[in-house]
Structure 1
Amino acid sequence: MSSVTISKSVTKNLSAVDTLGNKFTAPDYTIKQILDAIPKKCYNRYLTSSFYYVFRDIALCITFGSIAQYLIPKIDNYYLRAASWLIYAFIQSLPYTGIWVLAHECGHQAFSDYGWVNDTVGWILHSYLLVPYFSWKYSHGKHHKATGHLTRDMVFVPPTKEEFLNKNHVISLSELSADAPIITLKDLLIQQFGGWLAYLVTDVTGQPHPELGNKWYSSLFASHFNPSSPIFEKRDYWFIVLSDLGIISQFFILYQWINHFGWFNCFVHWFLPYVLTNHWLVFITYLQHSDVTLPHYEDHEWNFARGAAATIDRKFGFIGPFFFHDIIETHVLHHYVSRIPFYNARIGTKAIKEVMGDSYAFSDENMWVTLWKSARYCQFVDGNNGLKMFRNVNGLGVDPTK
């Protein structure tokens, strides 16, 4: 991050009313205060520890798969057998998601002190899950540099009130009726099971790309698979190609899998867990950046310290720490210093909380409840002082028409 970003002047004691009517005050501490508070030991990246978790997660995948392959075909009842395969796919998606998180660590260079090791391991692990490693690494890096910035952030960028009105082809909120819960449920299902692929293919929820035109196929040129996509810099071109080669290699592996073991074997052991892994990714990231208490900033009131605090830590029982490697529980720290490995993040989180004070966002609400609440409450952002908070037309929380 540049010194300009660190020292950028913003309005002190800037405040607004959040979605629930509570006062929110933007942080005024500096990034230096945050960095000074983090114990130096948190930055230690151990190759043996990182590889331990990779091999542990792979071992879990093999173990779960072997048990399922041995036991489930022995179930005589067709419906019980089908249900068992679905339960197995859910369980298998947990270490799959853990593998995804470890590849994400590689992209942030938090896996080890060796860049070539990080990129090699990350490329292999992400390619197995059809994630274009370098493409994701570069776009995700830009997200970290501009979290909470309304015109520079790269994912889950909410529409402003004006954009929301324009999207719905009206000039005032009073012309809009509330979304029925069934519509929210439909939108959530589309988001959870199609959102990740839509993001990779069309950059949905990212910044608009008017330079690509307004044809129905224009968004395809903003794809993470296109080396010339406006998401990337020219210097990234051949790394995007390498990412695509990883995807092609995985398709070849899947082709061989089907040839040797049959399509059903590939379907239950790879495809279903893969689909559910994509769900977990959207579930996790959406709730890290969409909450009734979280702010977004216009450029003149944004700085790195404020942006990194515009995310939230949550709890997800046993699954979060064990399978998902604390990516849910220590996300705020991750936005301040992304190269701290996850196994040191608890210590770092405790340290920065003392600096952040009330600006540290945390919730222990059931995440499934929060998913529904965020979908109902967080439709667009509004505000007139450079600090914008979530609002909705569902009659929930603060009335956006006043």
Structure 2
Amino acid sequence: MAFALARPGALRPISAQRGQSVRVAKPGLLRTPAVAARPRVQTNAAALSVPVNQLTDEERANLARELGYKSIGRELPDHVTLMDIVKSMPPEVFELDHGKAWRSVLTSITAMSACLYIISISPWYLLPFAWALAGTAFTGFFVVGHDCGHRSFHKNNLVEDIVGHLMFAPLIYPFEPWRIKHNHHHAHTNKLVEDTAWHPVTEADMAKWNPTAAFLYKVFLGTPLKLWASVGHWLVWHFDLNKYTEKQRPRVIVSLAVVYGFMALAFPALIYYTGVWGFVKYWLMPWLGYHFWMSTFTVVHHTAPHIPFKPAEEWNAAKAQLSGTVHCDFPAWVEFLTHDISWHVPHHVASKIPWYNLRKATESLRKNWGEYMTECTFNWRVVKNICTECHVYDEKINYKPFDFKKEEPLFAVQRRILPDSAAY
């Protein structure tokens, strides 16, 4: 089983005869040496779309290799509930350890302080590396606040609110608006229309775009710039009071006041002592590095050619949270600085599991439900598919690219020049 281009630019799975394989129609797209060496079968617009639940174990394994994943799980049976999965995990993964929680705060503050020092002594040609390191350390601030928002940091909710606001403030992230919308994402993960974290574009959306809007959407959601798209999400979702109910607004206003207060005090002081370049050097570039990880973690965890978004009437919580969330291994230094947020599947099964128990919870899920999980190691092939192919909602094949009608130069060039490595 392989993915082929049934129409120019449109990825879809196709079936092959027994003993044969399928070649990929476009050069450089999902191509591996093993695939290139196998017998070729020509494809055309009549290629058959096959859901994952109709594939054999061997076909799923082949599909996983071609898409850059270590494994693609079978479809979870309909009778399995989310509570069944939660109850299968050992009780200790839900236990809070205040010592580990506060050590994560200390780790992030220390790491960011060290990164700022490294930035201060780095020659210009090493600054990109220093910024990348600082952006990763900055992401640790978010993860601490993230646990506070899920009530998995401390037994005292007031402590969580205070720590959450303080850790989010340097990121210019209003804590309460984020908490409200993020919890909505957890309640509706990969549900069409409802999921607020990441969502495929619909053809109805595209029909409303004028040429300028179409260009901007395609550039920012159809290229590697998508790995910074959380900047737009942050701006659109978290500063508009109209997106919140009357009951929610008082707490939202407090969070906005904390963010604006930080900006009013810290930014002028930083510019006064270090100049505009200092503002860019010590805050803006690390902040953009943080948004790289915000975007990358989100899209890798919830976007894949074989993982569907479902309308409300077809949505299944257990399937969305377990099978619809990808486990992705990142370099050890990234996982250390970001407090294991990439061990993400158990977090979606039960959001109250604190970050320091995510590894143990993942091992439990692998033992009991591993055949239904998708796993990968961060690689270019996964990223390439997300950026160049997974754009527009399709009821039958999950995703199709922006240029599903006729291949466009923006995407044709990317498909040929972006790295296609799937090493793990």
TM-score range, shorter chain: 0.7 to 0.9
The structure-2 alpha-carbon separation of the partners of 1:331 and 1:27, relative to structure 1 and needing over 3 Å to count, comes to farther
2:248 to 236, 246, 253: 236
Q: Does 2:109 correspond to 1:58? A: yes
Structure 1 window deviating more from structure 2 (293-302 vs 131-140): it is: 293-302
1:350-392 superposed Cα distances (whole Å, 9 cap, x missing partner): 21233434321111251x43211212221223236xxx62233
State the distance in 2 between where 1:258 and 1:165 align.
Answer: 41
**DSSP-derived class of the 1:363 partner:** strand
- How many residue pairs are counted as aligned between the two chains? 335
What's the counterpart of residue 400 of structure 2?
Answer: 391
2:178 to 121, 124, 136: 136
State the distance in 2 between where 1:110 and 1:23 align.
Answer: 28
Structure 1 window deviating more from structure 2 (20-29 vs 290-299): it is: 20-29
**DSSP-derived class of the 2:398 partner:** strand
Deviation at 1:116, TM superposition (A): 0.9
1:127-179 superposed Cα distances (whole Å, 9 cap, x missing partner): 1110111000000000000001103211211134x43663579xxxxxxxxx9
Q: Does 2:297 correspond to 1:284? A: yes
State the distance in 2 between where 1:364 and 1:64 align.
Answer: 26
Contact 2:184 2:196 in 1 (8 A): yes
State the distance in 2 between where 1:23 and 1:305 align.
Answer: 13
TM-score normalized with structure 1 length:
0.75
Q: 1:2-401 maps to which residues of 2 (within 5 A)?
A: 15=53, 25-28=75-78, 29-69=80-120, 71-72=121-122, 81-160=123-202, 162-163=203-204, 166=207, 187-193=222-228, 195-203=229-237, 224-229=238-243, 232-252=244-264, 253-309=266-322, 310-328=324-342, 330-366=343-379, 368-383=380-395, 389-392=398-401
The structure-2 alpha-carbon separation of the partners of 1:365 and 1:240, relative to structure 1 and needing over 3 Å to count, comes to closer
What's the counterpart of residue 206 of structure 1?
Answer: none
* Paired letter, 2:207: N
Deviation at 1:186, TM superposition (A): 8.3
State the distance in 2 between where 1:244 and 1:33 align.
Answer: 39
* Paired letter, 2:111: L
- Report runs of 4+ in structure 1 exceeding 6 Å deviation: 16-24, 183-186
Structure 1 residues not aligned, in runs of 5+: 1-12, 73-80, 170-178, 204-223, 397-402
Structure 2 residues not aligned, in runs of 5+: 1-50, 406-424
Contact 2:226 2:295 in 1 (8 A): yes
TM-score normalized with structure 2 length:
0.72
Contact 1:15 1:25 in 2 (8 A): yes
The structure-2 alpha-carbon separation of the partners of 1:23 and 1:381, relative to structure 1 and needing over 3 Å to count, comes to farther
Contact 1:289 1:311 in 2 (8 A): yes
State the distance in 2 between where 1:237 and 1:168 align.
Answer: 32
The structure-2 alpha-carbon separation of the partners of 1:92 and 1:153, relative to structure 1 and needing over 3 Å to count, comes to same
**DSSP-derived class of the 1:301 partner:** coil
Deviation at 1:27, TM superposition (A): 4.1
* Paired letter, 1:66: Y
Deviation at 1:26, TM superposition (A): 4.9
Deviation at 1:228, TM superposition (A): 2.5
Structure 1 window deviating more from structure 2 (132-141 vs 349-358): it is: 349-358
1:271-328 superposed Cα distances (whole Å, 9 cap, x missing partner): 2111111122111111111112212112122132122121111011113321111111
Give RMSD over aligned pairs.
Answer: 3.0
Contact 1:15 1:23 in 2 (8 A): no
Q: Percent of counterpart pairs with the same letter?
A: 21
State the distance in 2 between where 1:373 and 1:200 align.
Answer: 24
State the distance in 2 between where 1:265 and 1:365 align.
Answer: 32
The structure-2 alpha-carbon separation of the partners of 1:131 and 1:16, relative to structure 1 and needing over 3 Å to count, comes to farther
Contact 1:184 1:375 in 2 (8 A): no
State the distance in 2 between where 1:46 and 1:23 align.
Answer: 32
